[in-house]
Amino acid sequence: MRPALIPGMGVVRVVPVAALVSPLPARADSPLDYFLHSAGPAASPTMYLGWGVTAMCVAVVAIIVILLAAALLRRRPPAAPGALGREGGGMTWVYAGVGVSTVALLVSLFYTLVTLQAVAQPSPAPALTITVTAYDWWWKIDYGDDADPAQRFVTANEIHIPVGVPVKVDLKSADVIHAFWVPRLAGKTQTIPGQVNTQWIEADAPGVYRGQCSQFCGAQHAHMAFEVVAQPAAEFTAWRAAQLQLAPSPADAPAHAGQKIFMDRCAGCHAVRGSDAAGVFAPDLTHVGSRRQLAAGTLTNTPAHLLDWIQHAQQIKPEALMPSIALKPQDAAALSAYLATLR
Ligand code: HEC
Ligand SMILES: [Cu+2]
C-alpha cells in the first residue's frame, strides 16, 4: 500500500479563487504563504518590507488607473476639422510623473537598505551554531561543538533551536546548489558546493516552522523539506541530551536479528552511533524514531510508513538515492523491531 503523502506536499490542489484573495491568516496546510506571517526578528523586517512595497505598488496602479480613466472620460470639444493644435500643460504631467516615480523608487530603495541592515546581523551574537549540509534530497544537521567534541551529534531534516535566541546556521552543499528557506524565520540562502554560506534564524515563540529547499535541484526538489522545532530552553537542553545518547544495544532476539540485517543492508549508507554502522551518505538514524517526518518531509514518521519507505523508497520518492529494499516478512519484522529501538 502506498502511504498518504503529507497534506500540501506532492499533491496538486485546486484552490478556490476566493481563497486566493481572502485576507485570512496562514493556514497550516498552505506553507507557501508563511513568508507573509513572520515569527522572528530575522524575518519580520523582510515581511514588513514585502507588505510595504506591495502596498506601494497597489497605490501606484490605483493612481494610474484613476488618471487614465479621468483622461478617457474627460469631454473635450472636437477639434476643428483639419486643424493641428498643441495644447499647453502636457509636460507638467510628464515632470510630475517622473518626479513622483523617482520619490517612490527612492523610498523603496532606502527602505530595502534599512531592511537589509536590520536582518544582516543578530543582536546579541548567536550562542549556538549549527551546520546544515544539503544533499540530494535531504538535509544533514550537525550540532558540532569545536570546544567540546563530546557534545557533537548529527541528525537529519529536523532542526531544534531554543526559542527567543539567535542561532547561526552555516550552510554547505554536498552536491549541487540548494537553498535553505524557513519562510517564517528568515530569508532564503543558497547552499553552494565548496563554499560555506551563513545566515541566522530566531523564533519568537515555540512551534514547528516548516522549511523547504527553494533552489531547483533535481527530481525530488519538491520533497526536500525540513522542520525547525523551536523549544523553551529546558526542553531544548533535554532534546540535545537525548540526541547525544548512543543507540542502545538490542535487548531481545528480534531486535538483535534486525540489527544484523541493518548491518548487512543499510550500514553502508546509514550511521547508527553506538553500533558499527557508520555510513555517511545518508541520514544518521541513531534517533530516527524521535523525528516527526521521514525522507525530508515526504512521510509522517510512523512504524508503518517507516517499513513502507524501506521497501518502496523508489515508488514513494522516485530517484531518491536510497534503493527500495526487498525484505522477507520475517526480516521486515526483525528490522522493524530493531528500528523501534532507535528513539
Ligand atoms: C545506497 C544507500 C542506502 C542504503 C543501502 C539504504 N539507505 Fe536509507 N536512505 C538513503 C538516503 C540517500 C536517504 C535519504 C533519501 C531522501 O530523503 O531523499 C535515506 C533515507 C532513509 C530513511 C529516512 C531517514 C529520515 O530521517 O528521513 C530511513 C528511515 C532509511 N533510509 C532507512 C534505511 C534502512 C532501514 C535501510 C536498510 C534496509 C536503508 N535505509 C538502506 C540511502 C540508503
Ligand atoms: Cu531543491
- 3-class SS of residue 142: strand
Which residue in this structure is represented by grid cell 531534516? 157
User: Cis (ω within 30 of 0) for the bond into 138?
Assistant: no
Q: How far is the CA of 314 from the centre of ligand 1 (A)?
A: 11
Pairing of strands 128-135, 167-173: parallel
- The best mutation among 270, 308, 309, 314 to test binding of ligand 1, ranked by most ligand atoms within 8 Å of the C-beta, falls on 270
* Grid cell 532564503 in the structure block, residue: 188
Nearest atom in ligand 1 to the alpha carbon of residue 298 is 17
Name the 3-class secondary structure at 37.
coil
Of the listed ligands, the closest to the CA of 340 is 1
Is 270 close to ligand 1, i.e. is its CB under 6 Å away?
yes
Q: Best of 213, 265, 266, 327 to mutate for ligand 1, by most ligand atoms within 8 A of CB? A: 266
Ligand 1 center to 283 CA (angstroms) = 7
- Residue 102's φ and ψ, nearest 5 degrees, are -60, -45
Please work out whether the CB of residue 321 comes within 6 Å of at least one atom of ligand 1: yes
What tens-digit pLDDT sequence spans the chain (343 residues)?
Answer: 444 445 444 444 444 444 444 444 444 556 656 778 899 999 999 999 999 999 999 998 999 999 899 989 987 776 677 766 666 667 888 898 899 889 999 999 999 999 999 999 888 889 899 999 999 999 999 998 777 888 899 999 999 999 999 999 999 999 999 999 999 999 999 999 999 999 999 999 999 999 999 999 999 999 999 999 999 999 999 999 999 999 999 999 999 999 999 999 999 999 999 999 999 999 999 999 999 999 999 999 999 999 999 999 999 999 999 999 999 999 999 999 999 999 9
Which three cell numbers mark 187? 530569508
What's the whole-model pTM score?
0.86
